[in-house]
Structure 1
Amino acid sequence: MTTMLAAQYQPGEKKLALKDKHAVPSTGPGQVLLKVAACGVCHSDIMFIDSGVLPIPLVLGHEVSGHVVEIGEGVDPSIKKGGLYAVLAITPSAKSLNGMPALFDSPGASTDGGFAEYCLVRQDQLVAVPEGVSPELAAVGADAGINAYKFVVTSGQIDGTSKKTCLVIGVGGLGHQAVQVAAHFGATVYACDPKPEARELAKKLGAVEAFSPDELTAKIAEGFTVNVAIDFVARPATFETAKAALRGNNLSFPANPRLVVAGLTNEKLEFSTLDTLTYNLTIATPQYGSKQDLESILQLYAQGAITPVVSAHRLDEINTVLDELRSGTVLGRKVLLPPTAA
């Protein structure tokens, strides 16, 4: 039996177990085996670990890019051995499993994921990576990139067809890409983050101003307003701030201020119909992007229009990387490189 290095979640444990004799999976019908090139580390991984929501041992990692090394029966001939692909974590064929929502029907949530040397995926999860896009960027695109694109373009309706003003709250792994996407499509972008280094990054990436939370509160009291607010933190304080920043909009159509709740949280966020009706406010709570969204963000990477901030680490450094994410000190996105890709 062929084995590999993998970082496995164990229910009840806060650290992933490094297994150097984990079995390499074999392909079945419609499946493809990838040699993992890079795998992003996401706050969702921390949620899986710290909440104990996953009931079984599992190799985590849902932000995957890799090269095809084995093709199962019935796979479309357009998928070629050796090709570099990004993996859609969620597809239209995702199903509810073991009482969990369809959101969890993905590598690293229902099947072994990309914190390993090899990863087994369905053929419908593969998106070819354009020339000039590195495996590290392709991995980041598979979650942080696809969602930043969807939250800005589809949910926020910032698509270049009209001039918008946009507030990005939380300049993290997704937020720093959202700043760039919104600016690329012609929006005047503002950012808010408690960390000075994150605010400086936002300005380098296209924000005209970047505020601390206290600065933003004072600015709103002076009459500051935007058309679109994208809240990547999604806590009661940031949700209230986002609503406040949208209330100065004119009620005449088609002003339609939009609040996109983009952060992953289990905290309760409250609004009333006074918020939505009297301010003509739309509150969107989008899920994962589409295959077309992933293709679009990868093309923007290839063109150099969007440049994610990415740092690479060895797979065996996974627990250190997770602790850094928990501490809130990470700028941009972190990816893991397995030994065969390092």
Structure 2
Amino acid sequence: MKIQAAVTRAQGAPFSIEEVRLSGPGPGEVLVRVVATGVCHTDAVGRDLAVSPYPIVLGHEGSGIVERVGEGVDDLAPGDHVVMSFAHCGRCGNCLTGHPTVCEAFNELNFGGRMEDGGARLHHDDGDLSTFFGQSSFGTFAVAQARNVVKVDPEVDIALLGPLGCGIQTGAGTVLNRLKPGFGSSIAVFGCGAVGLSAVMAARIAGCPRIFAIDVHDSRLELALELGATHAFNGGKVDVVAEIKAASEGGVHYAVETTGVPPVVRQSLNALRPLGTAAIVGVTPKMEIDVHNDLMAEGKTMVGVIEGDSVPRVFIPQLVEFHKVGRFPFDRLVRYYEFDQIEQAFEDSASGRTVKPVLRMPVAAG
């Protein structure tokens, strides 16, 4: 079938909305009419850093409605409202023990440019187009493996839900699935983008009495306070570590680091009390830490977390339920853009003007 898709033809190239061909669904796959899709920092990484083969259709926070199911799919049906999340094999030891975010084939399935069977689903006159995260949601339709597709409540606006597939579940899941702060625990969240603010909201759900938000944009700090943070510090204006230690009786129990900025990573470790844990979720370059003073001497833990250590088919519906009862108002992070405004959406995300851009697909698509 013919669809409209935003094609990236070379590293750092602008998006080109083109007519391309989409084949499938094959066995175990579903065809989804994409209603909307989030814009995530990982999409910018895919555009600019050549983590996947070009040409490619990016996008990995798609939400929409099932149009058709492939052979062997019996738990999804046409008309179902769904969110598409990351690809995983469902067979390796990590998948089978509830940790698909560290699937043994994660990099191959999400960044390798092909579907699980090794074939392409997207095609252009000059050859195949690579798939991203097993979905390529920067298109009016997408084909995805059924196991990576999450059925959601049809009463909730499907255009809103796409970011739950990656960025939102990353922040919330890091707190609720991996750190699991106990009663009375304090937490600091470094970076108040979509991931960080989701962590703030999750910390409030978990009942943390002291939630510290750190950013360099005052507008985002104000939003963090509205969403549940009890303290907010501008890292460009104050000594963040000193402020956190003064307000938390010597340091926080947990930290979530979302920025990937090496000095901020160090701050997330130094703001911990003895035996504290810092979860690193930002894409961080090579950097140095003082293992003795930053980590070992006070028995601290530094852990990497991917996609919030989530099982999407379990966790995403839980987040939807929290949203429905007003405990997870992630809609306050979202600003909508039309599909042909994709370049503006990326610019606004990079500048900090928009926390979570969401692209709406044309209503009459396909």
Q: Normalized against structure 2, the TM-score is what?
A: 0.83
1:235 to partner: Cα distance: 1.4
Give per-residue Cα distances to partners, 1:88-143, cap 9 Å, x unaligned: 2133536649xx55552688526551111100011111111124322233201111
- Matching of residue 185 in structure 1 with residue 206 in structure 2: yes
Corresponding residue of 2:346? 322
1:268 to partner: Cα distance: 2.3
1:223 to partner: Cα distance: 6.8
Corresponding residue of 1:231? 257
1:325 to partner: Cα distance: 2.0
1:275 to partner: Cα distance: 3.1
Q: How does 1:1-342 map to 2 (within 5 A)?
A: 2-19=1-18, 21-76=19-74, 78-93=75-90, 96=105, 100-104=107-111, 108-109=131-132, 111=134, 113-158=136-181, 161-187=182-208, 188-213=210-235, 214-215=237-238, 216-220=240-244, 222=246, 224=248, 225-246=251-272, 249=273, 251=274, 256-288=275-307, 289-291=310-312, 292-308=314-330, 309-330=333-354, 332-340=355-363
Corresponding residue of 2:128? none
Give per-residue Cα distances to partners, 1:138-160, cap 9 Å, x unaligned: 201111221112211222222xx
Distance 1:55 1:105, change over 3 A: closer
SS in 2 for 1:167: strand
Contact 1:11–1:56 (8 Å) recurs in 2? yes
SS in 2 for 1:39: strand
Contact 2:349–2:356 (8 Å) recurs in 1? no
SS in 1 for 2:329: coil
Amino acid at match of 1:11: A
Contact 1:136–1:310 (8 Å) recurs in 2? no
Amino acid at match of 1:278: A
1:270 to partner: Cα distance: 2.5
Farther off after superposition, 295-304 or 192-201: 295-304
Q: Normalized against structure 1, the TM-score is what?
A: 0.88
- Identity %, equivalent residues: 24
Distance 1:128 1:173, change over 3 A: same
Distance 1:202 1:220, change over 3 A: closer
1:16 to partner: Cα distance: 1.1
SS in 1 for 2:25: coil
Contact 2:245–2:252 (8 Å) recurs in 1? no
CA distance in 1, matches of 2:247, 2:184: 19
Give per-residue Cα distances to partners, 1:198-247, cap 9 Å, x unaligned: 0100011111111011322441574752111111112111111111211x
Contact 2:35–2:64 (8 Å) recurs in 1? yes
SS in 2 for 1:124: helix
Amino acid at match of 1:305: R
Q: Pairwise CA RMSD of aligned residues?
A: 2.2
Give per-residue Cα distances to partners, 1:142-193, cap 9 Å, x unaligned: 11221112211222222xx422111111110111111111011101211011
Structure 1 portions without partners, runs of 5+: none
Distance 1:221 1:122, change over 3 A: closer
SS in 2 for 1:340: coil
